[in-house]
Amino acid sequence: MIKTLNRKYFLALTFIVAGIIIFPCFVANADNQPIIPDAFVSSERLSQGDTLLIVVKNEPNQISGNLGLVPLIFFRDETGKDWIAITGITLSKTPGMYNLFINVPGKSVFNKNIIILKKDFPITQLLVTQKLVQIGYTAKNVVNNVINNENKILLKVLNVITPISYINKSFIYPVTEIKDVGAFGNIRKSNTYEIRHLGVDLKAPVNTLVYAANDGKVVLVESMWDYGNTVIVDHGLGVYSLYLHLGYFNVKEGQIVKQGDLIGLSGNTGYSITPHLHFSISMRGASLDPLKFIEATQADW
Ligand SMILES: [Zn+2]
């Protein structure tokens, strides 16, 4: 008898708890149909290094969501009506299926499965030209200085997550002509020394105009031995753009910039084989493919 009662109470309790948990997911309109949030997702299949753009349209209240266990941070677009979240797939992300879910107050939960694929990045030669050797560069000291010094300077900046968004619109390319002359993610190797290329090299003859990819605050202007003359712009919420090997700086640390403002002129400073612009995007401390990132933010929604 006691056992039967306990079982009945247990079943009743289970239904009550299930009702409390499940009920908010079945918010319905007058016709008893669930109200689905109007959401746009830039892609359902992504690779390591890619970027996902999520837009939820015409929502007055703050919304939240996750991709797997990674929380999404939504900010307002320039119309003030829609919410945008940008999330990056890190190079070390385990391939597989991840659930994207978005909670919109008063509506049913938006759910979608996102497939993340492994990407094989090529191994290329870490080049040190005779000209660079003459001024002191070797594969060993290039790699050691990047790892032990310059990456530490960058990460100190890039690991800071500014809690506000300076941006409310898509990113633009930092130079007018886009020609990829050094792909993102390649592993550059010379004997036992190797370095990961965590940005893209864009064709840029000396003195090419380099523009801010979006609104933000200049948080680093520094001349470095490997990365050359470097500018970092903080776009808020952990998103940064980086401009390396510049010939001339046109901004100062602490300066607020608008999208399209002149950051500087391209050059051939630091460990650089030939004039070009190295452009990187960092999101919450992880490097993303910058061209894929811009493409995702420009998705037509
Ligand atoms: Zn580069």
Q: How far, in Å, CA of 41 to CA of 85, rounded?
A: 10
**What are the structural domains of the chain?**
2-117 (2.60.40.1930), 123-297 (2.70.70.10)
pLDDT at residue 29, rounded to an integer: 60
Mean pLDDT of the chain, nearest integer = 91
Q: How far, in Å, CA of 43 to CA of 238, rounded?
A: 22
Digit-coded pLDDT (tens) for 254-297: 999 999 999 999 999 999 999 999 999 999 999 999 999 999 99
CA of 50 to the centre of ligand 1 (A): 18
CA of 197 to the centre of ligand 1 (A): 6
pLDDT at residue 25, rounded to an integer: 42
pLDDT at residue 22, rounded to an integer: 40
Residue 203: pLDDT band (50, 70, 90) is: very high
SS (H, E, C) 166-203: CCCCCCCCCCCCCCEEECCCCEEEECCEEEECCCEEEE
CA of 200 to the centre of ligand 1 (A): 6
CA of 153 to the centre of ligand 1 (A): 17
pLDDT at residue 32, rounded to an integer: 66
Q: How far, in Å, CA of 57 to CA of 54, rounded?
A: 10
Cβ-proximal residues to 235 (8 Å cutoff; 6+ apart), any chain: 165, 166, 167, 214, 215, 216, 241
pLDDT at residue 233, rounded to an integer: 98
